[in-house]
Amino acid sequence: MRSGGTPRVDFVVGGVQKAGTTALASFLGRHPGVVLPQGKEAHVFDAPDFDDGWDVESVNRLYDAHFSGRAPVDALHGDATPIYLLHPRFVERIGRYNPAMRWIILLRDPVDRALSQYHMERSRGHEGLPLWWALLAESWRLAGHRDDFEPGSPLRHHSYRLRGDYAAQLDVLHRVFPPEQILTLRNHELARQPAQALARVHAFLGLPVDTGDMDYGRVFEGDYSRWPKRGWQRRLLRWWWRHDLARQARHGLEWE
């Protein structure tokens, strides 16, 4: 990406899918000093036709269609597209576009996150396999598609385990951006204490803390049965993914 121009986007809610990013974006978008895309997710840096030769102004023009109306001169513009953390190429593109970009990362227990994604894909008609077959088939499905960013790619629809491999994703993020530009939250912080979590986000972005009397509602929705915390399904999946989970300890992440 060629230099030139001032980046329009100041921050991203860049991960992860099914961790509460929609709720966080909704809460954050109520701040008078914040502007987010219509529909929350701009999907600029993961677009299949993204050109790594584009300069800053070219990327800014892609964002024009996502921001409407007049905003205060000093308003912060953000993009809440949770797939950005998933692939190194997206992180690197964002780093070239705006080296000062601030990242807000919301993480969820990888087992719960995978289960939620599976049921979402089922409800949307993208997943026809039973749960355990879908989890077993992931490596086979993703073979040859790790760099396939097309809308129907298995990377987008069947990456149940991959999206929960936070250690690999955070390694890339910290290699491209300094730690002071990254805020990592856990989903239970937002679910249990939304005002406090939102205040942390405001402070991180340099905004006046403005949570007011906001009605937060539910952070997570989903009409499917959850696994018992101590049930055999959860224990089995944790054993299967034990190496992925162990690597996350280097980022201070431990899950029950």
What are the tens digits of pLDDT across the range 238-248?
999 999 999 99
**Which candidate, 216, 221, 212, places its Cα nearest to that of 194?**
216
pLDDT at 3: 60
CA-CA distance, 175 to 169, in Å (whole number)?
10
Tokens coding 38: 């219509």
**Which candidate, 166, 205, 204, places its Cα nearest to that of 186?**
166
pLDDT at 97: 97
Residue type, 126: H
pLDDT at 65: 87
> What length does the chain have?
256
Residue 200's DSSP bridge partners are: none
The 3 state secondary structure assigned to the chain is: CCCCCCCCCCEEEEECCCCCHHHHHHHHCCCCCEECCCCCCCCCCCCCCCCCCCCHHHHHHHHHCCCCCCCCCCCEEEECCHHHHCCHHHHHHHHHHCCCCEEEEEECCHHHHHHHHHHHHHHCCCCCCCHHHHHHHHHHHHCCCCCCCCCCCHHHHCCCCHHHCHHHHHHHHHHHCCHHHEEEEEHHHHHHCHHHHHHHHHHHCCCCCCCCCCCCCCCCCCCCCCCCCCCHHHHHHHHHCHHHHHHHHHHCCCCC
Q: What percent of the chain stands above pLDDT 90?
A: 81
pLDDT at 155: 98
In this prediction, the residues of the chain whose per-residue pLDDT falls under 50 are none
pLDDT at 214: 67
Query: Mind listing the pLDDT tens digit for each residue in 17-28?
Result: 999 999 999 999
pLDDT at 162: 98
Q: In what order do the strands lie in the sheet containing 34-35?
A: 34-35, 76-79, 11-15, 102-107, 182-186
In sequence order, what are the residues at sequence separation of 6 or more whose Cβ sits closer than 8 angstroms to the Cβ of residue 244? 110, 161, 164, 165, 167
CA-CA distance, 196 to 169, in Å (whole number)?
26
CA-CA distance, 95 to 234, in Å (whole number)?
36
pTM of structure: 0.93
